[in-house]
Amino acid sequence: MSRESMHIETDVLIIGSGGAGMYAAIAATRAGAGVMLVDRSLIGRGGATVMAQMTVAAALGCETPDHWSHHYDDTLAAGRGLCDERLAQLLCEAGPDCIREMDAWGVGWARRQGRIAQALAPGHDRPRCVYVDFLNTGPAVSKTLRGVITRAGGIRKAGDLLIVDLVRAGGEVTGAAALHVSSGAGVTIAAKATILATGGLTRLYRRNSASANMGGDGYALALRAGAPLVDMEFVQFFPIGHLAPRLIGMDPIMWDPFRYKLGGRLLNSEGEEFTGRYGVSEGGRYLATRDVATYAIVKEVEAGRGSPYGGAFLSFEHCGEAALREAFGPVIGRLARNNIDLTRMPVEVAPIAHYHMGGIVADERMETELPGLLAAGEAVGGANGANRLSGNAITEALVFGRRAGSSAAQRASQMRSHAFDPRAARGVLDLVTQGPRQGTINTAAMIARLQAVMADDVGPLRTAAKLEQALEAIAEMTRSLGEQPIGDGGAFDLRRVEWFDLRNMLLAARAVTVAARARTESRGAHQREDFPDMQSSWQLNQVAWFGDHGMTLARSGAAAQAAAQ
């Protein structure tokens, strides 16, 4: 194969083609910028957006009067005092406009009597979540945005393009270097503005609800380029991820919409509804927020009251067949083909890594601390604090994506020429195009090992000892990964792709674990068994940097300032 590298120039480079990346591409194009939208997988198919089953929160007030400030209050309360208020406000205030724009583009939000239907989700003070039936929100959002991009024309798209590092000149980001997966070739891209829309890091965990390409790429790219991350200790576990019986062709978070529509009962092995023991009595309704329900399930299992596969039972047996059919139509048939009859049996559910509250530090324009680098969607940290409110992820993808696209276009319009210097890309391009190297590690096995370490030691319940153990394992894996990529370097060489993935995953895992070790309290999604209480002195955010001295943490927020005085 050819070892020649390809060079491309664009105004705005967007990395990741989920909801945030696609909306950013549309907004930047609308503002007159030339756009290149790249994805390590296929355009608009991977990432988390396409996996969303239901619930997009926005204060539309179509059925029940609402105002964005109520959504904002609920978002801050769910975030347990740590939300970045500027970002949370932007999410809630601009959400309805993006939802209406999606509606005009034909996404097909479910309607009742001609009005957009809104469901009540845990943590919201009123019905606020729009959706597309049946379990089709994510696919409909992705398909709609893809259609708008195609109709807009002029957006250059490239799938199978794995961004390996950002390229800088001085303190600014001037583009990126990439591996073209399907040929093995190296690619450099000069951009006046670059947007990281790479999603979260759920792939770091054994059981997760997002695509295999959500390995924290954007966090690692930002860290290596010198941009800080915030709130990295807060990994959201979705409490009722499907556990058993084995079910194929369905997303493991599929029970969420069933609970929105029908309530359902979360039971332990003794047939009791148990969340009341942990502060929220549900009584057949869907009320416990994700952090509370996750904690409750893990604790019940620990107390010997778990289901056979180590989770809880979720039962809709009391709902009756007619109600189930009305709420879920064709999905009931898909369940029957997996030998699941909800009128006669419960299913088993357990917490599953779902979303990352932490991420890249960005302002309301979605600009990071590095000029030329922006972020959008789940990749951004701070809007959701210590625990994300249900329904905020797609809203955040749309709102932050649109904002990032227009900010990036504005920056590009103010720059006369590219500041990209090929010499600054040489090191990373050498890595990408390195010749065949056998190596001894099984990359797929190492990913599985890292996922086990993170699930067992940096999961929903943490201790200092477990976190230390995880850091040692991460350090040891980082050493065995080495500095030079392995694989033959040919077309679709997954060993080389996974080598680059592990380089990112191990760095992201380290950021999560270092921040979790430092936070000696329990708050939201971060629960320390050795520090079980929430402490007002910890009402602050931790910011992580990566540099010559490894990973360093700093504190920000009101409590940090008070403590410093």
Residues at the site binding another protein, with contacts judged by CB under 8 A: 6, 41-43, 45-47, 50-51, 138-139, 150, 157-161, 180, 182-183, 187, 211-213, 245-252, 338, 442-445, 447-448, 487-488, 490-495, 498
Q: Which residues contact 302 (CB under 8 A, 6 or more apart)?
A: none
Beta bridge partners, 238, equal 352
Give min distance, CB of 165 to another protein, in A: 18
CA distance 199 to 19: 9
CA distance 291 to 499: 33
Q: Which CB sits closer to another protein, 180 or 510?
A: 180
Q: Which CB sits closer to another protein, 180 or 402?
A: 180
Radius of gyration, alpha carbons of the chain = 23
From the list 160, 233, 132, the residue with the least C-alpha distance to 524 is 233
- Cite the beta strand spans of 94-211 per DSSP E: 111-112, 115-116, 129-130, 156-158, 161-169, 172-180, 185-196
Q: 388: part of which helix (H) or strand (E)?
A: none
From the list 316, 317, 277, the residue with the least C-alpha distance to 297 is 277
Give min distance, CB of 249 to another protein, in A: 4
Q: Which CB sits closer to another protein, 99 or 161?
A: 161
Give min distance, CB of 407 to another protein, in A: 25
Q: Say whether 290 is catalytic.
A: yes
Q: Which of 80, 290, 523, 528 is catalytic?
A: 290
Q: Which CB sits closer to another protein, 372 or 489?
A: 489
Give min distance, CB of 124 to another protein, in A: 25
Q: Which CB sits closer to another protein, 127 or 439?
A: 439
Give min distance, CB of 549 to another protein, in A: 33
Give min distance, CB of 213 to another protein, in A: 5
CA distance 486 to 504: 15
CA distance 301 to 267: 11
Give min distance, CB of 92 to another protein, in A: 27
Q: Which CB sits closer to another protein, 158 or 280?
A: 158
CA distance 331 to 235: 29
The residue behind tokens 């300032």 is 561
Using CA atoms in the order 176, 159, 429, 356, what is the torsion angle rounded to 10 degrees?
60
User: 135 and 59 in contact (C-beta within 8 Å)?
Assistant: no
Q: Which CB sits closer to another protein, 24 or 296?
A: 24
Using CA atoms in the order 28, 31, 34, 36, what is the torsion angle rounded to 10 degrees?
10
Beta bridge partners, 12, equal 35, 193
Q: Which CB sits closer to another protein, 36 or 370?
A: 36
Give min distance, CB of 338 to another protein, in A: 8
What is each CA distance from 251 to 58, 342, 525, in whole angstroms?
23, 17, 22
Q: How many other C-beta atoms are found inside a 10 Å radius of the C-beta of residue 182?
A: 11
Interior CA angle at 67 toward 65 and 69, to 5°? 145
- For strands 161-169 and 172-180, give the pairing: antiparallel
Give min distance, CB of 248 to another protein, in A: 5
Q: Which residues contact 431 (CB under 8 A, 6 or more apart)?
A: 164, 484, 485
Q: Which CB sits closer to another protein, 283 or 490?
A: 490
Instruction: Tell me which residues are annotated as active site.
Output: 290
